[in-house]
Amino acid sequence: MTSKCFVHLLQMSTWRNWLRSLISRSDSDKTTARASVPSSKDTPASANILEQTTVDDGISSQEFYPLAPIKRWIGMHISPYAWDRAVIRSLSSLQQTGIPLPLILAPKPDTKVSGAALRILLNSLYEMYGMKPDLRHIFQS
């Protein structure tokens, strides 16, 4: 693939790859993103997500977490669509939490989900973008 078209596309990608945040994840993102990432580097995203993120992701299945600050962090640091996309990708699991969808999409200050549900949501996020929020950082700030 050495055509002029390909070369031009590569050039385009250097100044327009902002769209990466709308599309997919990149291993290279992991080095610059302000996010907690698994320690096993460069593992393809879909393969070992549950295995990676359930080891030490700072989430306790017994606790409940407020959604609003997490959504805000994701909108600021990943992409404004990242939340909606993660919700779509984990919708069937989230519906089992009993929280109405509108509240998940636009959480109120007192909207909380279980650690188990949050983990599913953040795993979807990690699968798409290769990053997820550091909850300790969010709740400290």
Partner 1 sequence: MSTKVTVAFQPVLDKGALLLGGEPHVVHCHYYNHFLQTSIEDAEALYPVEEVLVWTAQEIAHSLFQKLFAEEGITDHERRKALVEAVYTRCGYGKVSLSGISADGGEIATPYEHYAYTYAATFPPRPKGKRGVAYFSQGYLAGAIEAIYDLPLGSMGSQQTACLTQGDAEVRWRFYRLPQPLPLTPSVGEGASQKGTIFQPSTTRVPMAQVRDAVLGLPLLPDAETGLIEAFGVVLTFIPGNYYALISERHLQRMIQVAGEEVRPLVLDMLVESGHVCAFNTLGGIMQSAEWDAVVGPYLDTPEDWLYGITAVMPAIGWGIVGCIEHPSAQKWELCLPNWYETSALAALPPHQRKMEYSPFAEGLFAGIMALVYKAGIHERRLTFDGHLYKQLFQDGRVYKASFYQSRLRGDSRDALTVTSLDA
3-state secondary structure of 5: helix
Specify whether the CB–CB gap between 59 and 115 falls below 8 A.
yes
Which residue number, 89 or 112, has a Cβ lying nearer to partner 1?
89
Beta bridge partners of 36: 132
Residue with structure tokens 């393809």? Answer: 44
| 33 contacts partner 1 (rule: CB under 8 A) | no
Smallest CA-to-CA distance from 99 within 127, 126, 90 is with: 90
Report the C-alpha gap between 33 and 82 in whole angstroms. Answer: 15
Select from 4, 31, 62, 110 the one that contacts partner 1 (CB under 8 A): 4
Select from 50, 55, 105, 137 the one that contacts partner 1 (CB under 8 A): 105
Select from 66, 68, 72, 87 the one that contacts partner 1 (CB under 8 A): 87
| 71 contacts partner 1 (rule: CB under 8 A) | no
Segment near partner 1 (CB under 8 A); pick from 14-22, 33-41, 59-67, 109-117: 14-22
| 81 contacts partner 1 (rule: CB under 8 A) | yes
Q: Phi/psi at 54 (nearest 5 deg)?
A: -95, 0
Specify whether the CB–CB gap between 86 and 125 falls below 8 A.
yes
Binding site for partner 1 (CB under 8 A): 1, 3-6, 8-10, 12-13, 15-29, 44-47, 75, 80-81, 84-85, 87-92, 95, 100-102, 105, 127-128
